Amino acid sequence: MDTASLDRVVKDQFEPGVTYLNTASCGLLPRRAVAAVKELADELASGRRAGSGDFEAVEAARAGFARLVGVDADRVATGSSVSVHVGLIAASLPAGAEVVAPEGEFSSVVSPFAVRGDLKMRYVPLERLAEAVRPGTALVAFSAVQSADGRLADLAAVRAAAAAHGARTLLDATQAAGWLPLDAGAYDYTVTGGFKFLLGPRGTSFLTVTEEAQRTLPAVFAAWVASDDPWNSTYGPVERLAASARRYDEPPAFLSYHGAGHSLALLGEIGIGAVHAHVTALAARFRTGLAGLGHEAVPGESAVVAVPGLGGRAAELARAGVVVSDRAGALRAAFHLYNTEADADRALDVLAH
């Protein structure tokens, strides 16, 4: 999609009431997603709907996510949170297995492994993650984009190291999917929260599992929706789970999924390539402006920009109508498709005074 077309879509679907640079915390909902959620809520309030929502909406979201990350829809499981998906993967590891993760990794990615108490957890600097994989490493668990500071992992190097030593890979794409081109099929597992750069309501998340990895992943949260015949599996134990990744589905939060399907469709229409070009250009402009003010941002080509030591100014920016985050003492700004050069310049103007 060209710049003019992108501008038209954004103007049609978004109307931020502030200078919003906080997608790394929560994305803005497009109008079409809001309309779908409101329609379902109204139907539920009036009793016009027999059930609590449509599974067709869940399937639309599954398919939309699959297209964005380059896998077949039958490799995608739907759920409500990243931590539940990671807990499922943690349950698959034998006692004593080694899990390697970056230092300071987001809690939901590492805690389900750490709380078991019988796994070998090893934390290393992000830039040394690939070289830290060794014979006997069972799993490398890491984010494509670090939540605290926006740093990008060396995805190819980690995949190569894991393949060389027979380790599996778990990629958290929550801060990446929606702006960074990804091939989810290149990892044994990916987990992605749907309420940030995927622009969906909270309560949507996606797990991808390769066919090979599915052989050892237990469906410990199995419910009737995970059956190969859900409507005939509502009573008693599920007799036969779905052959696809749907065997790991959680019962859906329908209000969230009714919105998410529309958000994912919008991203699909625009194209991740167009979003990536747009947001990285804005982030580069912001980094350059910060340097001109004497503030050194974490270097890189991420849509998420962090300035160590400047987190205390987040409240001041908020009072001026500029929404950012304070993460680990750093000011964190995140750019998405609805942001403009004026947004970056407005944040710089506040920081300059």
Is the Cβ–Cβ distance between 108 and 196 less than 8 Å? no
Q: Check residue 48 and give its pLDDT.
A: 85
Sign for the pseudo-dihedral over CA of 173, 15, 319, 297? positive
| Better pLDDT: 112 or 47 | 112
Q: Check residue 5 and give its pLDDT.
A: 85
Please tell me the pTM assigned to this model.
0.96
Q: Check residue 145 and give its pLDDT.
A: 98
Q: Check residue 140 and give its pLDDT.
A: 98
pLDDT tens string 83-112:
999 999 999 999 999 999 999 999 999 999
What mean pLDDT comes out for the span 331-349? 98
pLDDT tens string 193-249:
999 999 999 999 999 999 999 999 999 988 999 999 999 999 999 999 999 999 999
Using only the alpha carbons of the chain, give its radius of gyration. 21
Domain boundaries, the chain: 3-29+271-351, 55-269
What is the homologous superfamily of the domain 3-29+271-351 according to CATH? Aspartate Aminotransferase, domain 1 (3.90.1150.10)
Q: Assess whether pLDDT exceeds 90 at residue 258.
A: yes
Question: Two tokens at 289?
Answer: 């402006």
pLDDT tens string 32-43:
999 999 999 999
Q: Tell me which CATH code domain 55-269 carries.
A: 3.40.640.10
pLDDT tens string 179-198:
999 999 999 999 999 999 99
Q: Assess whether pLDDT exceeds 90 at residue 51.
A: no
Confidence of residue 56 (pLDDT cuts 50, 70, 90): very high
Q: Assess whether pLDDT exceeds 90 at residue 337.
A: yes
| Residue % of the chain over a pLDDT of 90 | 94
pLDDT tens string 125-175:
999 999 999 999 999 999 999 999 999 999 999 999 999 999 999 999 999
d(CA 296, CA 285): 13
